[in-house]
Structure 1
Amino acid sequence: MLPDEAAELLDFWFGPLPDAGSLDPVRAAHWFLDGRAWDTPIRTRFGALIERAARGELDDWPASPRGRLALILLLDQCPRHVYRATAAAFASDRLAQAQALTGIVRGDDLALHPVERLFHYLPLEHAEDAVLQAASVAAFTRLHAETPPALQQQSAGWLDYAERHRAVIERFGRFPDLNALLGRQTTAAEQDFLASPGSSFL
């Protein structure tokens, strides 16, 4: 059974899910363009849940595929809104990655709407780890192959973005655009890379 708080979060994030071959254009704008308008509502409504998730207090949520998805959102997406442009935005990434991997092994992801699967896999795309990046590209490749025709253009874009993330990790072993936020020294090669268009995923 899906916990009430998990259901509330999923309703906020996805709204009434359309059929598997379409997206809600309003929410897609928040997801893929500028989601800053969601920062305060997420902080107000779900800030305490984010903290509980990071402390491991919601580890019963993955009893169902959508419960796991809600926990992944609390560990991966929501902190990026609440703690935008700070190191805290990425503090629970490893927990989210573990949940994403476990969900794939269990087949939980296959029970989800295509756009829900996108958010299930995103923690792997955010990983500064070559093995997890390979898992990300594999997951997005499978998603693209299984996405209904009407969403093929969008899922191709999701796969392309995953491949671009993997390429950066293969080249540098980390995301150079996070160096300043995480207090890391940027190398000369990374500085040259950051000067090029499309180098930052923030």
Structure 2
Amino acid sequence: MEAEFDVKPNKNPQEWDEVLDFWFPERRALNVDAQTHRAHWFWRMQGGADELIVARFADLAGKAAGALDHWALDPHGRLALIVILDQFSRSVWRDSARAYAQDPRALTLVTEGLANGHYSSLETPWFQVVFGLPLGHCEGPDHLQRLDLLIGLRRKIAAEAPISLRPIYAALVEQASDVRKIIAAFGRHPHRNMVLGRTSTAEEEAYIAKGEFPHRKAFR
């Protein structure tokens, strides 16, 4: 169920605000209740929003591969594009290869945003955490280096988050470290193998059989 927050209307609405208002009902209010915030993280990252995303944003997800590139001129527009490409795609095309097909484009948006100051201009820890997700999600030869970068970014986020929220963001540092161990062992996300038509090694089959994937353990 979608979390509820008391949010003032945006006086200068942008075309990407519908995405951000949906995915971040906290908006920029740093004095959020920790329990409510944790519950929203669980809803947001564990598939609880799938039906709403498909109903409201399926058409937008189809456009995000190129028709919305102008959003990336603004830090919050770039963040909204990352949400669509990295998160909404996984809901709209769940259990199909297309769910991951947008990862390289999302990663490019992150890399550019780290270089041009968009990332550092984001006001909240939840904006920054979601902005960085493709660093860990997108497979590739530089995956370990990107995960090292992600761990460093998350450590800084956790250190600077409001005190009541720091345990939540410290846990996300641990999650990124767990993902790094998986990539160091296998060079990819083995839980995607079946969907992507890849043959699993014996070691990957044993890992998949356990079902202890870092993304499933978060916020439980």
- Could you say whether these structures have the same fold, taking a TM-score greater than 0.5 normalized by the shorter chain as the test? yes
Per the TM alignment, residue 183 of structure 1 is displaced from its structure 2 partner at its CA by 0.4
Asked if 1 retains the 8 angstrom alpha-carbon contact of 2:78 and 2:109, the reply is yes
Residues 110 and 134 of structure 2 are in contact (CA less than 8 Å); yes or no, is this contact kept in structure 1?
Answer: yes
| 1:109-124 matches, cutoff 5 A | 109-112=119-122, 113-124=124-135
Change in Cα spacing, 1:86 to 1:72, as seen in structure 2 (3 Å) is same
Q: Name the counterpart of 1:144.
A: 158
Indicate which of 79, 82, 92 corresponds to 2:92: 82
Distance change in 2, residues 1:32/1:45 (3 Å):
closer
Report the CA distance shift for 1:76/1:111 in structure 2 as closer, same or farther (over 3 A): same
Count of aligned residue pairs for this structure pair: 198
Q: Deviations over 1:135-171 (max 9, x none)?
A: 2222212212222212110010111111111111111
Structure 2 alignment gaps of length 5 or more: 1-11
1:60 match: 70
1:161 to 169, 175, 188: 175
Q: CA RMSD in A?
A: 2.0
> What is the match of residue 28 of structure 1?
41
Give the C-alpha shift of residue 16 in structure 1.
4.3
TM-score normalised to structure 1 length:
0.88
Q: 1 CA distance for matches of 2:86 and 2:69?
A: 15
Aligned partner letter, 2:43: H
2:74 partner amino acid: S
Residues 127 and 133, structure 1, Cα contact 8 Å, conserved in 2: no
Deviation string, structure 1 residues 6-37 (Cα, Å, up to 9, x no partner): 111111111242632535445323124442xx
Instruction: Flag the 1:3–1:124 CA change in 2: closer, same or farther, 3 A.
Output: farther
The yes-or-no answer on 1:195 pairing with 2:197 is: no
Counterparts of 2:113 and 2:192, CA distance in 1: 27
The structure in which a higher percent of residues are helix is 1
Aligned partners of 2:175 and 2:215 also within 8 Å:
no
Secondary structure in 1 matching 2:146? helix
* Deviates further, 142-151 or 79-88: 142-151
Aligned equivalents of 2:172 and 2:16: distance in 1?
Answer: 25
| Aligned-partner SS, 1:17 | coil
> Does the aligned pair in 1 maintain the 2:71–2:78 contact within 8 Å?
yes
Task: Provide the residue aligned with 1:176 in structure 2.
Answer: 190
The alpha-carbon distance between structure 1 residues 108 and 151, as it changes in their structure 2 partners (threshold 3 A), is same
Q: Sequence identity, in percent?
A: 34
